[in-house]
Amino acid sequence: MSGGVRVDLQDVSVIYKGGVVALQGVSLAVEPGEFVALLGPSGSGKSTLLRTINGLVPYTNGEVSVGGVRVGPRTWKVVRAEVAMVFQTAALVPRATVLDNVLAGALRGLDPWRAALGWWPLAWRQEACALLAEVGLREDHLYRKALSLSGGEQQRVGIARAFMAKPKVLLADEPVASLDPTTSRDVLALIRRLAADRKCAVLCSLHQMDLARAYADRVVALRAATVRWCGVMENFDEGVQAKIFDHEHN
């Protein structure tokens, strides 16, 4: 684990089928180990930006690279080995057990015959247990179906799954948008702590200013498919906020 991985976006554009421009000329960089909050109103392109980094959304123009590797159809496997993701609704497999959901983060490395049988190596299962304990779940959660958990618990399982992949970069797509304020703080604190322990960079989209202020090192603000503001947390004041979110400044 020598050093982290740098994420670089150079002048990236994404145009969906039907001509919807989701991103236009976006450039930004995430340094190893830093926590970057991605702010912006709904539809400003936050999700699309995150998804270009691990290749879930192909970009039309520009260049995205992770650790010096250009992201594209041929390099998805390499890139996804470094980049994990946390989703808004956790995106767990609803009928699978909590343990299986966590282990799924490490699917990439599982032998095909073991995958067919669903037979995970014991060491991996123990690692998953350790992660589950770290995100604050208990032994009796292990074999419960994911759909029987509360929203906050599901998101914790989603985080455990992401870190099971041993990422150097974590993409978090509105990880707390469907959680209550207290749980939101807990979950963000958890992401920050786990990422810091593993020297993993985090790019996290949010729409609550106060949470960004509390947990992020740096802010990238998007509006209407372009980056409107980029800087350290201390400079992110009322004026900037109004510029991003207020209709009058459009």
Among 45, 105, 152, 175, binds other proteins (CB under 8 A): 105
Q: Is residue 56 a contact residue for other proteins (CB under 8 A)?
A: yes
Tokens (6 digits) for 235: 């400079």
Question: Which listed residue (112, 182, 237, 238) binds other proteins by CB under 8 A?
Answer: 112
Q: How far is CA 50 from CA 59, 139, 162, 185, 212, in A?
A: 11, 33, 15, 21, 17
Q: How far is the CB of 84 from other proteins (least distance, A)?
A: 6
CA distance 57 to 121: 32
What is the size of the binding site for other proteins (CB under 8 A)? 33
Query: Which one of the spans 1-9, 21-29, 160-168, 187-195 is the region binding other proteins (CB under 8 A)?
Result: 160-168
Cβ proximity to other proteins, 108 vs 213, nearer residue: 108
Q: Are strands 35-39 and 218-223 parallel, antiparallel or unpaired?
A: parallel
Cβ-based nearer residue to other proteins, 84 or 202: 84
93 touches other proteins (CB under 8 A): yes
Residue 77 binds other proteins, judged by CB under 8 A: yes
Instruction: Kindly tell me the sign of the dihedral angle through the C-alpha atoms of 98, 190, 83, 127.
Output: negative
Pick one of 11, 27, 61, 94: the residue that binds other proteins (CB under 8 A): 94
Tokens 């992201």 sit on residue: 71
**How many CB atoms lie under 10 A from the CB of residue 71?**
25
Should residue 104 be labelled a site residue for other proteins when binding is judged by CB under 8 A?
Answer: yes
Q: Is 169 in the site for other proteins (CB under 8 A)?
A: no
Of 69, 74, 80, nearest to 6 by C-alpha is 69
Smallest separation, CB 100 to other proteins (Å): 7
Choose between 116 and 123: whose C-beta lies nearer to other proteins: 116
Would you count residue 242 as binding other proteins (CB under 8 A)? Answer: no
At closest approach, how far in Å is the CB of 124 from other proteins? Answer: 14
In terms of residues, how long is the chain? 250
Could you list the residues that contact other proteins (CB under 8 A)? Answer: 54, 56, 76-77, 80-81, 83-85, 87, 89, 91-96, 100, 104-108, 110, 112, 115-116, 118, 158, 161-162, 165, 247
